[in-house]
Amino acid sequence: MFNRARDAFIDTMDDTLFIKLDKSIELYEDLKLSVQKPLKMVLVYGEPGTGKSMLLNRLYNDLEEQKGSLFYPIPMLDEDIFFSTIAKDIFYDKSNNITNFSELTILLQNSTFKQVPIIILDEAQLYSQTIMEKIRLLSDTRKIKFIIALHKTEKEDLVAKEHFQTRIWKSIVLKNSTKEDLKVYIQKKLLNADMFQVSNMFDLKAIKLIYKFTDGNLRDTNKLLYSLFGIYEYYEEHKPSSVNSLTIKHKYIEMAAIDVGFINA
């Protein structure tokens, strides 16, 4: 039984598994509305594990029928490859000779689109300052829109500078979940896996303990719960009498926290 519960917490970017918490729904609707505005850029930022990639992936899939919507979940760190790839994906056969930023800029300035292409960039904190500055210049053509997601690092200083900030129509900030949202997240994950009985095993004390170790970070919660149900699976197979199906054992949560490195033992 617990192997199904464990697999519910595999970390994945499958947007069909997007858990609709009140805050995530609000942020997603805000993001969709921003895309419809005459923006140059939308900035999505937050700590790792707050759901940025899932949010972008869901947006891209919702926009998939819109020609020219492109999603790059893995950064292309070589500058010429970055700009030539964008040119190829936007213009197809017209981009055979486009190999750098300058050529792409000229092609954009001389092009007309029925719908402005939307470029979605994840993990943007990994791009160089030079590439980020050239992204800014591309946005100035008003022929292309950027949705940029990045972690809260020193790269924020760059995008917060006046010459960058004036091009950002909207900033969307993702934060860790509250205890209440964390409980909903865990229970919905389990209910989606048809694990109704297991979802009811989490009392308030168990949620508080999980929150203590994860601070509401969804990626860390996935790691902890995956390990937790791995422990339950082991005891269910080797010592079933020790498994209480009414409530989650706090010692098992602590064992899982040790296993994933949240407790130094």
Q: What is the CATH code for 22-174?
A: 3.40.50.300
Strands 118-121 and 69-72 come out as: parallel
How far is the C-alpha of 28 from the C-alpha of 235, rounded, in Å?
Answer: 40
How far is the C-alpha of 134 from the C-alpha of 141, rounded, in Å?
Answer: 11
How far is the C-alpha of 203 from the C-alpha of 106, rounded, in Å?
Answer: 60
Residue 204: its pLDDT value, please?
Answer: 93
Residue 164: its pLDDT value, please?
Answer: 65
- Residues in contact with 220: Cβ distance below 8 Å, sequence separation at least 6, in sequence order: 49, 213, 214, 260, 262
Residue 206: its pLDDT value, please?
Answer: 96
Q: What is the three-state SS of 65-83?
A: CCCCEEEECCCCCCHHHHH
Amino acid at 71: F
Q: Give the single-character DSSP code of 103.
A: H
Output the tens digit of pLDDT for each of the chain's 265 residues.
788 999 999 877 666 666 777 777 888 888 888 888 877 888 898 888 888 888 898 888 888 766 668 999 999 999 999 998 998 888 876 556 777 899 889 888 888 888 888 999 999 889 988 998 899 899 888 889 999 998 876 666 666 665 566 666 778 888 899 999 999 999 999 999 999 999 999 999 999 999 999 999 999 999 999 999 999 999 988 888 877 778 899 999 999 999 999 988 6
CA 12-51-153 angle, to 5 degrees, is 120
How far is the C-alpha of 110 from the C-alpha of 84, rounded, in Å?
Answer: 17
Residue pLDDT, tens place only, 11-24: 776 666 667 777 77
Residue 47: its pLDDT value, please?
Answer: 85
